[in-house]
Chains A and B, each alone.
Chain A
């Protein structure tokens, strides 16, 4: 009921400016890092290739993102390891 009154009086939960700001924040992460989605994808594939030399990873569960906090953009990867490869473990 209170929500209904709020809405009637024009106090919407997500104003369009909030949407605009959030969309801008996300798009600028990519713009500022000047990395296109295609390049990000290539980087991801290369990374998977290199890591796969050493360990078996769960590619389906792999998370790979450019994140921004304040004035910094970070490449954050969460790569679940299934098991180490025996030959590399033996060499070490």
Chain B
């Protein structure tokens, strides 16, 4: 019996789709049978992030409305034979699927896969309610900004109201040099406010832009810092205890001077 994990955030543009793609690919690379489900109907993107946009025939709405069987709509990944994508419909809207239909789909996916990663759309309306409908666990993605943390707080409240207890937090796009300067909220600041368990911290990394350009998830790039962060998150999702990445910036001349004067 598999597990359904929803990746959500409230705010748009914080990295839900990138996170979904990387966690899903990471779990597949570890040998699990995985399906990625894009529930952002009308604004699908998981297909391009995965580099599978040219292979779409059927989509999520075709499956839930009975136009095709689940197996017909699943797209095989280029890299792993045990990784699949169920793309969102692009020409319909969020109301073309109901939470009840998503629950039915979730049951079917659990029979077939070890993990289903649900990429949730931004917002708290029907798209969100659909995405969380059949989920067993939730991962909340948040960047170290006031707006993202506020929306994450709202989402955590809504998840708990929907009985999705103990959501886990991913802090995305953290910039260690800004944190050090005191110009960006730190991990502890955000945990202090949101009061949920942390499952990973992903540093801001240009390699994410490059990997998205290519349609190759960064988790497979051994030289990518963000990729390393996602590899660790993947292991934590499987229940392993993994230390946080060391994100310290090397101290420069100014720091040494400050230390000397006793200001640090």
List A residues at the B interface (Cβ < 8 Å). 5-6, 9-12, 15-18, 20-21, 23-25, 27-28, 31-32, 71
Contacts and interface: CB of A to CB of B under 8 A. Distances in A.
A15 B182 CA distance: 5
What secondary structure prevails in chain B residues at the interface with A? Answer: helix
Contacts of A9: 254, 257-258, 261, 263
A23 B150 CA distance: 10
Nearest to A19: B146
Given A17-B183, A17-B186, A24-B193, A31 B261 contact: no
A85 to B, nearest CB: 42
Given A9-B257, A9-B263, A17-B185, A28 B153 contact: yes
A16 B149 CA distance: 15
Given A17-B179, A17-B186, A27-B146, 20 more contacts: A9-B257, A9-B258, A9-B261, A9-B263, A10-B254, A11-B263, A15-B182, A16-B182, A17-B182, A20-B185, A21-B189, A21-B192, A21-B193, A23-B146, A24-B146, A27-B150, A28-B150, A28-B153, A32-B153, A71-B195
Interface of B: 145-146, 149-150, 153-154, 157, 179, 181-186, 189, 192-193, 195, 254, 257-258, 261, 263
A53 B139 CA distance: 51
B193 A18 contact: no
6 contacts: A9-B254, A10-B181, A15-B183, A17-B184, A24-B193, A28-B150
Nearest to A10: B181
A32 B145 CA distance: 18
B189 A12 contact: no
Contacts of A24: 146, 149-150, 193
A25 B182 CA distance: 17
Contacts of B184: 17
Contacts of A15: 181-183
A63 to B, nearest CB: 26
